[in-house]
Structure 1
């Protein structure tokens, strides 16, 4: 896998993947940024969240669970001192669908965290990552 990071100016960059997708990254104004893109550490969390969400949805679909929606809400804390690494990350899944089996949802979250999500597993080597989930029936989610 290859990516290219091109400096724009100040602390603004464009990252481009080998698949041709691009994203703007920038720093906070107090650090010389113009606030025109995500912060790199935000992007790291989003990447991890997308990776684990991909797994959870795929596992639930393979288990023939009637999943309609999946949202990963991620809350992370960072060290106060430089390097301001993540110290804790909590991933809370909100999975929507009528008649979802809680055991299957729990299994999907656990398999992603322990076996399939490369990003989570890599980060878990240095960060405490916890997971939780809730199930919203479709009838409740629509109101």
Structure 2
């Protein structure tokens, strides 16, 4: 059993078997498939402390802390529409509508940074490391799909 608390600095402290770890990093082992399952807790040296198969193993207060942390860490606006795609000097400039508003994103090395996962989930990473997603590529309008299809 582990206990989790939020430090005044905003970092999490995990105590397992009487040993405390501060500045714990929480990661989803399968971020696109399981948002609440297979959660790893790593110490400040990225060594594994423990893995939870399901967040429901935690008490409600601790589960809330972990979900808040993961929500911040894995923030990925959902792309709802692609307005325009321009290629310039090896970069893609994509004007998109997202759940967080309209945005123009710049994508370098689109082969690595535009990825289809499990044939329906589209992941896009811009030059600043921001991530965007389409949970189901088939739900995009036909014009948006055509604009992205060229780069898949």
The structure where helix makes up a greater share of residues is 1
Larger radius of gyration: 2
TM range (shorter): under 0.3
Q: TM-score, normalised by structure 2?
A: 0.25
